[in-house]
Structure 1
Amino acid sequence: MGHFSHYENRRPGLLLIIIISLLSAIFGGIFVLFMAPSFLALEQPPQKIQPQEPPELPIIPFKVEDSPVIAIAENVGPAVVGITNMRGHDFFNNPIMSSGSGVIFDKNNGYIVTNFHVVEGATNIQVTLDDGQHYEAKLIGHDRDTDLAVLQIDASNLPEARFGDSLELRVGELAVAIGNPLGKDFARSVTAGVISALDREITVRTTGGEEITLQVIQTDAAINPGNSGGALVNSRGEVIGINSVKIARADVEGMGFAIPTHVVRPIIEQLIEKGYVSRPFIGIFDFREITPQMSNWYNLPEGIYVGGVVSGGPAAAAGMRPGDVIVEMQGQIIRTFNDLQKILRAHKVGDETNIVVIRDNKRIELKVTLGEMPRR
C-alpha cells in the first residue's frame, strides 16, 4: 500500500515532462522551418556577378569621299586662282602689292572672273594657278558698279569651273567658299556653311570714296578679304556666286557676301565683248529723294526730284525739266533712287519707257528712249 501511493505521486511529473517534450519538438520544428533559409543563406558562398556587355550598336557605313565638301574642294578648287595686284613701289622702293582670288570660267580662252577692287589700280597683274605656275594677266574689262572684272592669261590645259543658276538657290542649302583668305600662304582655303539669305542689297565704299550698291547672296561660310573674287559653290559643285565683300565689325560675325551668277553672267559677257558694261541712261543729275518728311515740309510728292537735265540727253529730248519729280516708271511707283535703278537694270539701251513726273501739281507722262550711260 505504501509503494502504490508513492508511484501515484510521481506520475504527474512524468506527464509534464512528456508534454514539455512535445511542445519543444513542435516549437523547434516551427523555428527551424522559418529560420533555416536564413542560416542556409549565410552559409552559401557569395556569387560572382558577371558584368553585362553593352548591346552592339549598328555601324553606319561612311566613306570620306561621300562628303560633298571634299568633292567640291577637289573638283572646283583647281579652278580658283590667286591674283597679285602690283601697284608700283613706295618711297623706299618696296613693291606695293595686294592679293585676291579669281575663278577660271573659260579654259579655252584663259578667261578669269574676279572682283574689280582686287585689280583696281594695278600696273601688273600676276595669276598663280593650283599647280604653282605663274602667269601675267591682261585686264580685259571691268565694271565698278558690280565690282567685277575679267582677266585673261595665255595658258593651256587649264581647269574650269562650271557656273550654276543662282536664281534656283534656296535659303539653308550648302554653300562652300574657296579662295585665298590671307594671300598665297593660305591659297585655296575651303570654308563651308549655308545660304543665309538671297537678294540682299549692301552699300560699300570704293577706294575712290564712291558708294556703290551691290545685289548679293548672304552666307555664313567664312569669307575674308583675300577671298574676294573666289568661288561660292553649291552642293552640285556649281559656282553660284563670286565672293565679294565681308562685313568686318566687332558686333557682326558670320556674314559673308557673294555676287550671284545671274548677275555675273551678263556682266562678264559684256566685258569680253566690249571691255565695259553698257547701261541705260535717262540723262538727269543733281537728283535727290523726296522723303515723306520732305514731302510734308515742301508740299512735294514723294519720288525723285530732278535737279538738272543733261542737254541733248534722253530726258531732255522727252521734255523733262529741272524741278520735275519722277513718281512712276513703266507703271511702277518710284519713291527712292533704288526703285528707279531696279527698273533701269531690267532694260537695255534703246528701250522706250513711260515716265510720269509731277510738275506744278500736274501729272505729266513722258516717253523716254533710254540712252547709254557715259563711261567713267
Structure 2
Amino acid sequence: MDNKDNYKFNEEIRDALWKNAERGQDIFGEIKFRKNNKRNYFKMFLKVILFMLIAALSGGITANYVISKDKLQENISGDLTQSKLEEKNKDIYSNSISEVTRKVSPTVVGIIVKTSGGEETPEVSGSGIIFKSEGFIITNYHVIENATEIKVKLSNYKVLKAKVIGTDAISDLAVIKVEASNLPVAKLGDSSKVNVGDLSIAIGNPLGEQFSGVVTAGIISALDRKVNIVDKKTGEQTIYKVIQTDATINEGNSGGALCNINGEVIGINSLKIGSATETSGMGFAINTNVAKEIISDLMTYGKVIRPAIGIYGVAAISVGNNGIEGVYVQEVVSGSGAYKAGIMPTDIITQIGGVGVKNMEELSNILDKYKVARSVQCKVQRNGKYKDISIILSELKAAN
C-alpha cells in the first residue's frame, strides 16, 4: 500500500470514528480520558518524588543545623560548667583551711604541766582534742609524762585543772579530763578512707600570749608508715604505724588534731614520733582508727591491755644448711606464759595460732587478735625437731 492509500485509509477511519461519535458513541472521549489518567498519574508520581527529595534535603539541612546548634550549646555549656567547676574547686581549696580551722579549733586545747621539779612550763607542753563534751580529752602521753599537775586552756582562754584517766606509753596516747560540760567536740573520722595526696591540716594550741593557736597545712605523704622509737631509759623499741604528712608538727600542735578537708580528725599529731626521724618536712600522726581502740581501753581500764607470750626475740637466722623462717627466742620472761609452757632460749617459733611468723612484728600482730588469759598454739623448732606448745597469754607490761 502506497502513501496515498495509507492516507485515504486513515481518513476513512477518522470519518468513521466521528460518525460513530455523532451517533452517541463517545469513542474519542473514552480514549482521551485514558490518556489523561496516565499523564496525571505520571505527573502525580513526579510530584511525590520531587516532594520526597525536597523533604529529605530540607530535613537533612534542618537536622544538621539542629545538631550543630546543640553541639555548640553543649560546648558552650560544657565550657561554662568546667569553668564554674574549676572556680568552685578553687574556692573550696582556698576556703577549706580557714573553714576547717573555724570548725575544729574550738575542740583543740592547750596543755600546761607542772613537773616533779616543781616548776610550771612557761609555754604549752602540747595540745589535746576534746572528744566528749563532758570534758574528756585525748593527747600525747609524752605531753603529760612525769606531770604532777596538769592544766588545760580552752579555746575561750578559760583554764581548768585536769586529771589523768589513762595512759599508754607504747602508743604515745593519754586521756585526761576536766570538770566541764557541753564542750565542743571534735569528730573522729575514718582514717582508713585517707589517701596519699589528700589535703591535711594540723591544728594545735601553743597558749602563748601572742597566739591563739597554730595551724599548718600540707598533704598526706604516706599511710601506715613504720617509725621505730627506742626508749632511752629502757632501751625498748616500739614500732609505730602512723600517717605521714608534710604539715609541720611542732611543740604547739603535738597532741593536737590532723584533719581532712571535711574537718574530721584523722590523726593525733605526735612530735615525739616525728622528732625521731630528724628530718624536716616529715610530720607524723597516730591514725584515729587505732586511737579509737586505745581510747576505749583507757576509758575502761586506765591502760591498754595487750596480750603477750613473754619473750624477747628476733627474726630467725639460717641454721645449718636449711633457712628457717620464724622468731628466734633470745630471752624468756620469768613467770610469763612462754616460761610456764616451757619455751626456751634458742627455740624458733615458726607458727602462732596456725599462722606462720617471720619476726616479732608479725607475731605481735597475730597476738593482737587474742585476749589476755586465752590459750594460743605455737609451733616451735628446737634442735632440728618441731613441737606444738600451748601458751597462756599474759598481759604485756609497758615501761611507763
Q: Normalising by structure 1, what TM-score? A: 0.74
Matched, 1:106 2:129: no
* TM-fit CA distance, 1:66: 7.2
Aligned counterparts of 2:332 and 2:314: Cα–Cα separation in 1: 16
Partner of 2:34: none
Inter-CA distance 63–194: structure 2 relative to 1 (3 Å threshold): closer
- 1:359 aligned residue (382, 385, 388): 382
Does structure 1 conserve the Cα–Cα contact (< 8 Å) formed by 2:206 and 2:251?
A: yes
RMSD value, Cα? 2.9
The whole-number CA distance in structure 2 between the counterparts of 1:82 and 1:65 is: 28
Residue aligned with 1:191, SS = strand
1:213 aligned onto 2:239: yes
In structure 1, the residue matched to 2:290 is: 263
Aligned mates of 1:311, 1:298 — CA distance in 2: 33
More helix by share: 2
In the alignment, structure 1 residue 179 sits paired with structure 2 residue 207:
no
Q: Could you tell me whether the CA contact under 8 Å between 2:330 and 2:346 is conserved in 1?
A: yes
Residues in 1 aligned to 2:398 and 2:281: alpha-carbon distance in whole angstroms: 36
Q: How does 1:298-313 map to 2 (within 5 A)?
A: 301-313=324-336
In structure 1, the residue matched to 2:344 is 321
Shift of 1:249: 8.7
Q: Distance in 2 between matches of 1:66 and 1:227?
A: 22
- Matched with 1:87 is 115
**What is the alpha-carbon distance in structure 2 between the residues aligned to residue 104 and residue 354 of structure 1?**
42
Q: Which residue in 2 is equivalent to 1:161?
A: 186
Give 1:5's aligned residue.
none
- Partners of 2:229 and 2:221 lie apart in 1 by 20
Q: Please, which runs of 5 or more residues in structure 1 have no aligned partner?
A: 1-57
In the alignment, the residues of structure 2 paired with residue 288 and residue 157 of structure 1 have an alpha-carbon distance, to the nearest angstrom, of 48
1:191 and 2:219 are equivalent in the alignment: no
Q: For the residues of structure 1 that align with 2:276 and 2:166, how far apart are their CA atoms? A: 32
Q: 2:101 aligns with which of 51, 63, 73?
A: 73
Separation (CA, whole Å) in 2 of partners of 1:141 and 1:250:
27
Report if the CA contact (8 A) 2:310-2:333 is conserved: yes
Alpha-carbon contact 1:279-1:372 (below 8 Å) kept: yes
Partner Cα distance (2:135, 2:266) in 1: 20
What residue identity is the alignment partner of 1:305? Y
Moved more, 304-313 or 118-127: 304-313
TM-score normalised over the length of structure 2: 0.70
Q: Which residue of 2 aligns with 1:243?
A: 269
In the alignment, is the contact (CA less than 8 A) between 1:100 and 1:183 conserved in 2? no
Does the C-alpha gap of structure 1 residues 255 and 182 become closer, same or farther in structure 2, counting only changes over 3 Å? farther
SS at match of 1:227: coil
The DSSP-based 3-state class of the residue aligned with 2:182 is: coil
Partner of residue 282 from structure 1, selected from 298, 303, 309: 309
Distance 1:326 1:341 in 2: 13
- Distance apart, 1:87 and its partner CA: 0.6
Render the CA deviation track for 1:206-245: whole Å, top value 9, x for unaligned.
4635432211001111111332110011122111110013
Letter of the 1:338 partner, please give it. E
2:116 and 2:146 in contact (8 A); partners too: no
Structure 2 CA distance for partners of 1:101 and 1:297, relative to 1, 3 Å: farther
* Structure 2 gap ranges (5+): 1-82
The amino acid of 2:181's aligned partner reads S
| 1:297 shift after superposition | 7.6
Counterparts in 2 of 1:106 and 1:321: CA distance versus 1, 3 Å? same
How far the C-alpha of 1:333 sits from its partner, in A, is 2.8
Change (3 A) 1:304 1:65: closer
The C-alpha deviation readout for 1:150-189, integer Å capped at 9, x for no partner, is 0000012311101111112111111111013685644421
Q: Deviations over 1:274-303 (max 9, x none)?
A: 11111102123xx332454xx258988343
Percent identity of paired positions between Structure 1 and Structure 2 = 42
8 A Cα contact 2:316 2:325, kept in partner:
yes
**Given the alignment, which residue of 333, 337, 342 partners 2:356?**
333
CA contact (8 A) 1:182 1:225 kept: no
1:118-155 CA-partner distances (Å, limit 9, x unpaired)? 00000110100001000011011100110000000001
2:296 partner letter: E
1:321 maps to amino acid: M
**Compared with structure 1, are the counterparts of its residues 340 and 186 closer, same or farther at alpha carbon in structure 2 (3 Å cutoff)?**
farther
